[in-house]
């Protein structure tokens, strides 16, 4: 048996760092973004499907995210077609991860953390035993993203508008972790795991 934590949070909220904190506490972590990278890489499960549907997206035997963005900018309807290819493959990758972790013969119930940016948007939360939302004040979120230097303020605003509001995610979550400081986030992760183990036999 396994206990599945669905971990999510909007851009700049500290989700990747929080996932690392769960890993440091002994939880196996599955990362949706990493899964997409595997699917897009040469030999990845998504390459053949994209070669058929979007041949211009293939570069050096892999799916090019840069080319996909260009395709989407030219054809807004392409995004839905891309999602119809990617989402089932990502779900399959996640299911295989959960299955493999659950067959390792441990006496304790393994607590698995599934890092899913669109956890609520895709309905993946329905398959979780608990959901955790990572959050931070809007000004902290904005500062973190812009400090990376990878996008403009306008691009950041566009992404935020497309994502489910943080307030709604917090309302739907079983646990909320505030990423104000690293040590505070670590203590909150430990508290979440302690609560789950208290409620779950053999966890």
How does strand 58-59 pair with strand 62-63? antiparallel
Can you state the angle between helices 182-199 and 15-24, rounded to 10 degrees? 60
User: Which residues does 175 contact at the CB level (< 8 Å), separation at least 6?
Assistant: 130, 131, 132, 133, 192, 195
DSSP string, 46-107: THHHHHHH-GGGEETTEE-HHHHHHHHHH-TTHHHHHHHHHHHHHHHHHHHHHHHHHTS--S
Run means of pLDDT, 10 residues per run, the chain, 203 residues: 93 94 95 95 96 96 94 90 94 92 66 94 93 95 90 87 92 96 96 93 68
Structure tokens at 100: 């493999």
pTM of the model: 0.86
pLDDT value, residue 107:
55
pLDDT value, residue 160:
86
Q: With contact defined as beta carbons under 8 Å apart, do 150 and 67 qualify? A: no
- The highest-level CATH class for domain 1-27+110-197 is alpha beta
Q: With contact defined as beta carbons under 8 Å apart, do 177 and 134 qualify? A: yes
pLDDT value, residue 56:
95
Domain residue ranges of the chain, discontinuous segments joined by + = 1-27+110-197, 32-109
Compute CA distances 186 → 49, 152, 158, 176, whole Å. Answer: 40, 30, 30, 13
pLDDT value, residue 175:
98
Structure tokens at 88: 């089932």
């Amino acid at each position: 048996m396994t206990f599945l934590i669905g971990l999510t949070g909007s851009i700049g909220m500290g989700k990747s760092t929080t996932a690392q904190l769960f890993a440091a506490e002994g939880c196996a972590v599955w990362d949706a973004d990493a899964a997409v990278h595997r699917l897009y890489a040469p030999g990845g499960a998504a390459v053949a499907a994209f070669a058929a549907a979007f041949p211009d997206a293939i570069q050096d035997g892999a799916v090019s995210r840069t080319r996909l963005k260009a395709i989407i900018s030219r054809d807004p309807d392409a995004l839905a077609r891309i999602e119809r290819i990617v989402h089932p493959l990502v779900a399959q990758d996640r299911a295989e991860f959960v299955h493999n972790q659950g067959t390792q013969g441990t006496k304790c119930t393994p607590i698995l953390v599934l890092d899913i940016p669109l956890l609520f948007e895709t309905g993946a939360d329905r398959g979780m035993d608990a959901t955790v939302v990572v959050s931070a004040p809007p000004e902290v979120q904005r500062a973190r993203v812009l400090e990376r230097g990878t996008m403009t303020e306008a691009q950041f605003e566009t992404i935020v508008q497309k994502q489910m509001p943080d307030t709604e995610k917090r309302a739907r979550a079983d646990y909320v972790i505030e990423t104000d400081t690293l040590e505070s986030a670590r203590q909150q992760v430990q508290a979440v795991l302690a609560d789950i183990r208290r409620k779950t036999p053999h966890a």
